[in-house]
Amino acid sequence: MNLPAIKPFALSLRRSRDGVTIPVRLTPKSNRDEVAGVEDHAGECVLKARVRALPEAGRANAALETLIARWLGLPPSTVTVAHGGKSRLKQVAVTGDADALTRLIAQRVAELCTQT
């Protein structure tokens, strides 16, 4: 994965030795599954995501994990909701090389910004 270095538009990524954690504001019961952009939430830039699943029995969290994995082009097993399981504001952990993941996420965010 040889991607150019792009600043992740102030998205508040947290790096660790296992990968990165992405702050996500999730809207369940939407009309479609999508990563809709980046927004400011209480002074922190977070990824805005929508899923069709209901917030019952972890369905919305599972749908979010699948959505983020597809959005990044990664195996679903590398993406988990690490914190905020019952909240709209979640921390989604992505396992892998932190540098490569940061570049990949920055590229995907840049693509979102050029679509609008």
In 3D space, the residue among 77, 70, 78, 71 whose CA is nearest the CA of residue 98 turns out to be 78
Per-residue pLDDT of the chain (116 residues; tens, 9 = 90+): 444 443 445 788 999 999 999 999 999 999 999 999 898 888 888 999 999 999 999 999 999 999 999 999 999 999 999 999 899 999 999 999 999 999 999 999 988 877 65
- Is there a domain that residue 1 lies in? no
Q: Which helix (H) or strand (E) holds 49?
A: strand 44-50
- Is there a domain that residue 89 lies in? yes
User: Computed from CA positions of residues 16, 11, 96, 32, in that sequence, does the dihedral angle turn out positive or negative?
Assistant: positive
Strand partners, 44: 41
Domain count, the chain: 1
- Is there a domain that residue 4 lies in? no
- DSSP characters over 37-48: EEEEETTEEEEE
Q: Is 83 within 8 Å of 90 (Cβ atoms)?
A: yes
Which CATH number do you get for residue 42?
A: 3.30.1200.10
Is this prediction's pTM over 0.85?
yes
Q: Is 34 within 8 Å of 50 (Cβ atoms)?
A: yes
- Is there a domain that residue 50 lies in? yes
- Is there a domain that residue 83 lies in? yes
Q: Residue 44 carries which side chain, given as an amino acid letter?
A: E
- Is there a domain that residue 107 lies in? yes
Domain containing 99 equals: 14-115
- Is there a domain that residue 2 lies in? no
